Structure 1
Amino acid sequence: MSSLLLFLLPFIIIIPTLTLDFHYHSNREIEQYLLQLNASNPSITYLYSIGQSVRGQQLWVLALGLSPHRHTIGIPEFKYVANMHGNEVLGRVLLLQLIDDLVRGYRNNETWSLQLLKSTRIHILPTMNPDGFDEADTDCQYTQGRYNYNGIDLNRNFPDAFAGPQRPQQFTEENREAEVRAVIGWLRTESFVLSANLHGGALVASYPYDNSNGGSELVAGASVAPDNDVFVHLAKMYSNNHATMSQGKSCLDNTLFQDGITNGYQWYPLIGGMQDYNYVWAQCLELTLEVSCCKFPPEGDLPALWKENRKALLAFIQQVHLGVKGRVFDGFAVPVHNAVVEVKGRMNMSPFRTNQHGEYYRLLLPGTYSFTVTYPGHEVLTETLNVPYGPDKYSAMTHDFLLRRLRTTGRTPVNPILSISDYALDLERGGAITRSRWTGLVVGLSLTAALWSLID
């Protein structure tokens, strides 16, 4: 045996193959697979942890895209989450297979994969509840392993928009489980546009709201969100691309779902759910996808179940390109954080706002919409946009909003430049002063001084 082979042999032995077969991988096996895949594909993958479970297991997320390490202006952020309930395990398998499919498609220069990874940054969390999975029973319907290590249902532990006048920042951290705190923190660091949460025990695409306080949102037994038309479209997109979901067949409880979709509240009310939290507080439209009647399907069924869901998983990602996207610029042509971007007739409980890059993303079906943009120190801007269908071209319509500074009266001169208070407001809201904003501030102060010297 050559000296080179003797040197490489230990590495050949301890490093497993990247081949992904159809079985239930342990949490450790998933971690090793993701670490290897990330190391082998640094140009399109980025592996990071959003936190730890109660027992200290990492909550690994793999980001995929042509710029996987960080956000790119104009590229929407998408996410899939699975195994929130530890005994609902098919989602773990589906998301690992999806990762493998996307990477192989890119390597083989397949158009569908290239288009998705070029136009979208895709985040995949294969298991949100690794502790629960470790305790799960393989029974189709029993609940062993459903909860986290503290015995808490994670899909009942998020701050609820219908629980009272509180806002998320007023909820005490100690009332949230480690896994829930990790997801909430994740939503604060990434501007997700579209998401789905994979469950098991039924075969249906469920959409917000999951809860209600009996107000105007309660219509004919459903709790209707302002973007209900978009949610119905998204749910049907998954259901119609699934092999059988759109047939609406029941599992064991004889519940029939027309078109294979349901309003969450109309199915059964749920307090503290993750999809409502995503929509209300993180302006991310999320569905709950129940992808198998059996919570823990036999391993022999996994190839067929992947085949049933593959097309739907890919089609749903593509829907992140619905509607319109763009940036909001202030009176000095600088993108602004926390500008409110509202659509007439869609008054969300928490208004949609621009992110730290001044971007907004608004998922909308084709049509004509009136937009109103507000930002401190600027005139309210209203514009009407004709929005086409974007997913076929892998890009939503792009439109930027340009704001005008409010004019002041009296001795104070007209100042088109942002004031110091505007920058302080951005910092108070958690924003950051970028180089362009510092430049705007310095130039603004210089011009203001010059104007005052002329007046004096």
Structure 2
Amino acid sequence: MRLLILLVAFLPIFASVEFPEYAFPDSDYVWQHHNHEELKKVLDDTAAKCPDITRIYSPGQSVEKRELWTIEISDKPGQHELGEPEFKYVGNMHGNEVVGRELLLVFIPFICEEYLNGNEAIVWLVENTRIHIMPTMNPDGYAIGRKEFDETGRNQWVNGRANANGIDLNRDFPDLDTVEFENPENNNHISMALNKIGHQLQPETKVMMRWIDENPFVVSANLHGGDLVANYPYDSSFDGKVHYQKSPDDAIFRELAMAYSTVHAHMSDPDRESCDTTSDDEFENGITNGADWYPVPGGMQDYNYLSSNCFEITLELGCDKFPQASELQGYWKDNLPALLNYMAMVHVGIKGVVVDSNGEGIANAVISVKTVVLDRNDKIEDVIPIEHDVTTAAMGDYWRLLVPGPYMVTASAEGYKSTEKPCWVDDDSTATICNFALADGNDLPNF
């Protein structure tokens, strides 16, 4: 069955909840493009209005020392709660692709406002998710693109795309795809020494790598512009050519992408006008495998997947990278339901805690999953490993996105006896709880 879950029907608690159609912001709201200082003010104003559920921080700076301001929204901001998944939205990686940046600067106060209004769906999300939102990853590139926009009333296709050093940040990450393609058994939590990367990483890239490494993110989206499609891994192909490059988690990635595209007002419409009239690209259901569109080595999307537990997709939010401010309201209406629906996907699959015999959480325990194939009599016909593991966070908790169905799940950790158990993922509820208690295995003989 389809995993696509509309937020208003995501949980029994949501069944009676209806969002007022585009009730936010107020009708007299002035739509605008925000410079770096104005961006920070939106975050500050939101934190002042919702101090109990927000925290503003910066994981680092750009080339020109602008802070990569981020806001955390949670019922216990500043701390990871046991069993609570962490989610992130990142905007404006390419400085002249501004729709995501501006949508997030409306989305942030929207979450605050609806929380204060007692909207049950938003309250549930805030109380059960640690949300991180970075409106701009490339403030220097934005300043370049904004300068041209202010002077001419438009922005060329590439001006401001790169950072202040002229580097495309979505080609700057360690190329973990190549490492994986050369060693297929090594398909997750890949790390590369800096001297093996082959080029000097940009400051923004280093900040993001550290941020990804230090937080147990589960789901993420990277907001771009220039087309209208939800793009999922792999973003690069083994031979550098255009063709479908399936990841071990292709099934759930397709559902993640459709959780956005099919709720967006136009993204999955087969009759919508193409952004590129010279291209034959047709995006069925409004989604595409990245390598099947065009290969992107060194991209942030695949880096998330191959270096950490985080499943990230790339959202192309429209043909015009730098639209007029008067057009932003239309983008908001088109994207709000999808932004919410995609965020809710952090709560699907399985989750649990891995503890030792004393009940203490085991950090960095490995969670391995096998898909159980049943015959028509519900007897096990086959068991197929999903060749991509996740690991537990510091408190021993983990989250594993999966499409509905039966699985065999194994928890293992150095010095402990591995444990395997069946776990079933339903299609009408939050993540199935699948906890593990591992016995000490230090007395086992070494073979």
TM-score class normalised by the smaller sequence: 0.7 to 0.9
1:12-411 to 2 correspondences below 5 Å:
21-136=30-145, 137-138=148-149, 139=154, 142-164=157-179, 167-172=190-195, 175-214=200-239, 221-248=243-270, 249=272, 250-252=274-276, 253-254=278-279, 255-344=281-370, 345-348=384-387, 351-389=389-427, 393=429, 395-406=430-441, 408=443
The one-letter code sitting in structure 1 at the alignment partner of 2:410 is T
Matched-pair contact (CA < 8 Å) for 2:353–2:435: yes
- Offset at 1:140? 6.0
SS of the residue corresponding to residue 51 of structure 1 reads coil
CA distance in 1, matches of 2:284, 2:160: 30
- 1:388-437 CA-to-partner distances (Å, cap 9, x unmatched) read 236xx5x3122211112226379xxxxxxxxxxxxxxxxxxxxxxxxxxx
Q: Note the residue ranges of structure 1 that are not aligned, 5 or more in a row.
A: 1-18, 411-456
Matched-pair contact (CA < 8 Å) for 1:140–1:294: no
Between the aligned residues of both structures, percent identity stands at 41
CA RMSD of aligned residues (A): 2.1
CA distance in 2, matches of 1:53, 1:236: 33
- Offset at 1:306? 0.4
The one-letter code sitting in structure 2 at the alignment partner of 1:225 is S
- 1:228-280 CA-to-partner distances (Å, cap 9, x unmatched) read 11011111110110000001442024322111100000000010000101111
SS of the residue corresponding to residue 369 of structure 1 reads strand
- Offset at 1:168? 2.5
CA distance in 2, matches of 1:359, 1:30: 34
Distance 1:335 1:292, change over 3 A: same
Match of residue 374 from structure 2: none
Q: Between 160-169 and 147-156, report the one with greater CA deviation.
A: 160-169
CA distance in 1, matches of 2:442, 2:139: 56
Q: Between 255-264 and 28-37, report the one with greater CA deviation.
A: 28-37
TM-score, normalising length from structure 2?
A: 0.82
CA distance in 2, matches of 1:68, 1:389: 30
The one-letter code sitting in structure 2 at the alignment partner of 1:206 is N
Matched-pair contact (CA < 8 Å) for 1:389–1:396: no
- Offset at 1:347? 4.2
Q: Between 66-75 and 123-132, report the one with greater CA deviation.
A: 66-75
CA distance in 1, matches of 2:243, 2:421: 35
CA distance in 1, matches of 2:420, 2:444: 24
The one-letter code sitting in structure 1 at the alignment partner of 2:401 is L
Matched-pair contact (CA < 8 Å) for 1:221–1:266: yes
CA distance in 2, matches of 1:21, 1:228: 41
- Offset at 1:36? 2.7
- 1:355-375 CA-to-partner distances (Å, cap 9, x unmatched) read 111111001111100112211
- Offset at 1:38? 1.5
SS of the residue corresponding to residue 79 of structure 1 reads strand
- Offset at 1:20? 6.2
- Offset at 1:119? 1.4
Bigger relative CO (Cα 8 Å, ≥ 6 apart) = 2
SS of the residue corresponding to residue 51 of structure 2 reads coil
Indicate the structure (1 or 2) with the bigger Cα radius of gyration: 1
Matched-pair contact (CA < 8 Å) for 1:44–1:68: yes
Matched-pair contact (CA < 8 Å) for 1:22–1:93: no
The one-letter code sitting in structure 1 at the alignment partner of 2:413 is Y
Matched-pair contact (CA < 8 Å) for 2:237–2:243: no
The one-letter code sitting in structure 1 at the alignment partner of 2:250 is N
- Offset at 1:327? 0.8
The one-letter code sitting in structure 2 at the alignment partner of 1:75 is E
Q: What is the number of equivalent residue pairs in this alignment?
A: 385
Match of residue 5 from structure 2: none
The one-letter code sitting in structure 1 at the alignment partner of 2:248 is P
- 1:271-306 CA-to-partner distances (Å, cap 9, x unmatched) read 000010111111111010000110011111111110
Q: Note the residue ranges of structure 2 that are not aligned, 5 or more in a row.
A: 1-27, 184-189, 371-383
CA distance in 2, matches of 1:29, 1:227: 39
CA distance in 1, matches of 2:171, 2:134: 19
CA distance in 2, matches of 1:169, 1:331: 34
SS of the residue corresponding to residue 68 of structure 2 reads strand
